[in-house]
A and B are shown apart, each in its own frame.
Chain A
Amino acid sequence: MTFQLLGVNHKTAPVEVRERLAIPESRLPEALRRFMQHPGVEEGLILCTCNRVELLARTPNEGADLRGFLRDYWRVERSLVDPHLYEYREKDAIRHLFRVTSSLDSMVVGEAQILGQVKEAYATARAVGAVNSQMDQLLTRAFAVAKRVRTETAVGSSAVSVASVAVELAKKIFGALHGKQVYLVGAGKMTELAARHLLAHGASSIFVANRTYDRAVRLAQKFRGQAIEFSRLYETCDRADIIITSTGSPHAIFRREHGELFLSRRKNRPMFFIDIAVPRDVDPEINKLDGIFVYDMDDLQQAVASHVADRKTEAEKAEFIIDSEVERFQIRIQTLDIVPTIVSLQDHLETIRQAEMDRFRGRLGPLSPEQQLAIETLTRGIVNKIMHTPISTLKTAVRESEATTVVEIVRRLFNLGGTKKPGPGGEA
């Protein structure tokens, strides 16, 4: 038994190839059924997101021709997809799945969406019956690993877009954003986006001031906020905790004296200026006032860049977790794998013993119950002694990643039949 994975992702294939291989959600169950009929596929899962298409299968040791299925199902030329495909087996397939689920293989490392997408693919495969025994364990483990990576490293914790960095900073200053007032100065696309983020995180109301009053009104309506005449900007600004500016003004519109005025009116409660205008709307001098925090476009972008770098170092820690988890899972799955072999070995020898006992029963003549028992004990003892070494060798082999070889040898030596479906009893 082995796991096998075949796929393309955003790193190996351009979007033209990925969209060629995409399967709409509605057709996924049917595709899975077809996949299950493919020779050698014992369990299967198809993961299809905008960044990747992957086939994962449990196959016999000699493997299955997953590339063949790919070509048949999508009817694509070998030359079109082959250069973009990656294929993994056993340990590498497990590792790849763990990395994908933990979002280490994503375009934006650490994004949270992928875990949900794998879970959906798993649910679909379960519903179809394509995943039942070992694959089930593999996927359940993958979800646990993803959770471990998320809690033990900070790979998904920092914001990696300008708007989310702004929200993060606002939270750093104000704690919960509930009840905080947001003031938009200038009605541009970026201010709107940032405002949307802040509102989504609990900020309460919005004021909009714009040189063209109409646009202010329109934007204010969108958020059920309040439009304010630009001339009344300075008298109203102190109401806001968070001010997002993006006017086209060639000079700073908020200077130090404004900041002092706001602070005294607000009894020094902190204020957060997010200046996304270039040239800047807020004089950097204001940042020197106690209680006012100014972030301009450069600062925000720098924060994004440093967060991306942070995620990289966290991802390295995550790789260690993945390594140890792959190791653990392999041992577990191989232990499961040797159990049927041990059982058939025991059955095999027991059958021989019984047969030999029956054969010699006639020659021994009538036996007293004590003698009967003695012979039973004797023969059983011999069999157990003989079996002891192979079984303990099998058990230790599991930990040394040569289990498959040893299992194969034992099966061949005792003529226990193929490894594919080891039923109890084997060949007697």
Chain B
Amino acid sequence: MSILWLRVALGCYAVGLLYVLLALSRTTELLNRVALHAAYLGMVFHFVSLAEAFLESGQMASVHNAESVLGFLIMVVFLLVYLVYQTTSPGIVVFPLVFLLTFVAATGEAPFLLTSASMRTGWLFAHIALIFTGYAALVLSFGASLLYLVEERALKSKQSSGRLSRLPALEVIDEIGFRSLLLGFPFMTLGLLAGTVMAQSTFGRVDLLDPKILLSILMWAVYLILLYTRWSVGWRGRRAAYLVASAFGFALIAWAANYFSAMHRFARS
């Protein structure tokens, strides 16, 4: 059943994706509203799907599918941004990504399951949930910085009218990106700490050379640099966008590193 709900959610996100494609040519209020409702609906089904998967397996850490959870969390952050700023503009980046994640989750083979009983602890759950929230915030921040670049270029080249005129103001986009970062950082940090604690208790050590761990630490470092430069010299725009992009890049590779990491190589059930 859970996979069915996920596919319904996927259908709703597809509407959002369509909105993005149309938004590149023109946007109307109606379109905005349709996309938003599709997103709400998609999230509801998505939540049902996740909840059902959780109940079925009856264990905290048996996340039905990592992509699915991440997709859901990104949507949550997107919606928070909408509630505060009344803009669906980040959707241009968020919808395609969420669609892709959900698509992989809904059509992929059997989900990753954690087999070792010792790993089914609250720590693991915390580790995953916190880091994923951090990822979601990072994704949104990345989206915002892309929008910032697009709009900055339009303003500099003096072509601010037309299709860009519906983007929120430059400073608002900047604020969305920065706040997402601020929100994501503590989650990311705590998530990594939880991972460390767990690794210590399970394996007795933390293998810093494990690709996934190494990449995650690199990502965290870039994250820290980002926040620091913003706080001390107010870096924004192009420079900040490069940093966010690199943090995002590390995050992506770290995500893919599941296949090479000794500690994170999950057995397929």
A interface list, Cβ under 8 A from B? 151-152, 158, 169, 171-176, 264, 266-270, 287-288, 290-291, 293, 295, 299, 302-303, 306-307, 310
User: Does A172 lie within 8 Å of B158, measured CB to CB?
Assistant: no
* Contact A293:B156 (CB < 8 A) given known A171-B169, A172-B169, A307-B161: yes
Residue of A174, A266, A302 near B158 (CB, 8 A) is A302
Does B32 sit within 8 A of A, measured CB to CB? no
Residue of A152, A268, A291, A310 near B161 (CB, 8 A) is A310
Contacts of B11 in A (CB 8 A): none
Residue of A158, A175, A303 near B172 (CB, 8 A) is A175
Contacts of A303 in B (CB 8 A): 158, 160-161
User: Does B29 lie within 8 Å of A151, measured CB to CB?
Assistant: yes
CA distance A310 to B161 in the complex (A): 9
Q: Give chain B interface residues in 149-183, CB to chain A under 8 Å.
A: 151-152, 155-156, 158, 160-162, 165, 168-172
Does B264 sit within 8 A of A, measured CB to CB? no
User: Does B158 lie within 8 Å of A299, measured CB to CB?
Assistant: yes
User: Does A268 lie within 8 Å of B236, measured CB to CB?
Assistant: yes
Most central of A171, A172, A266, A290 by chain B CB within 10 Å:
A172
User: Does B160 lie within 8 Å of A290, measured CB to CB?
Assistant: no
CA distance A306 to B160 in the complex (A): 11
User: Does A290 lie within 8 Å of B29, measured CB to CB?
Assistant: no
Closest CB in chain B relative to A149 CB, distance in Å = 14
Closest CB in chain A relative to B169 CB, distance in Å = 4
CA distance A175 to B238 in the complex (A): 19
User: Does B238 lie within 8 Å of A266, measured CB to CB?
Assistant: no
CA distance A295 to B239 in the complex (A): 23
Does B122 sit within 8 A of A, measured CB to CB? no
Closest CB in chain A relative to B164 CB, distance in Å = 9
19 contacts between A and B (CB under 8 A): A151-B29, A169-B155, A172-B155, A172-B170, A174-B169, A174-B170, A175-B171, A175-B172, A268-B235, A268-B237, A269-B234, A270-B170, A290-B152, A290-B239, A299-B158, A302-B158, A303-B160, A306-B161, A307-B161
Contacts of B152 in A (CB 8 A): 290
User: Which A residue sits closest to B174, measured CB to CB?
Assistant: A270
Closest CB in chain B relative to A266 CB, distance in Å = 7
Contacts of B233 in A (CB 8 A): 264, 267-268
A-B residue pairs, 6 tightest by C-beta: A267-B234, A175-B169, A268-B234, A175-B172, A290-B237, A299-B158
Contact with A along B11-26 (1 / 0, CB 8 A): 0000000000000000
User: Does B238 lie within 8 Å of A290, measured CB to CB?
Assistant: yes
Contacts of A293 in B (CB 8 A): 155-156
User: Does B171 lie within 8 Å of A270, measured CB to CB?
Assistant: yes
User: Which B residue sits closest to A174, measured CB to CB?
Assistant: B171
User: Which A residue sits closest to B161, measured CB to CB?
Assistant: A306
Closest CB in chain B relative to A37 CB, distance in Å = 47
Contacts of B171 in A (CB 8 A): 173-175, 270
Closest CB in chain B relative to A191 CB, distance in Å = 20
User: Which B residue sits closest to A294, measured CB to CB?
Assistant: B156
* Contact A172:B160 (CB < 8 A) given known A268-B233, A268-B234, A293-B155: yes
User: Does B236 lie within 8 Å of A173, measured CB to CB?
Assistant: no
CA distance A268 to B233 in the complex (A): 7
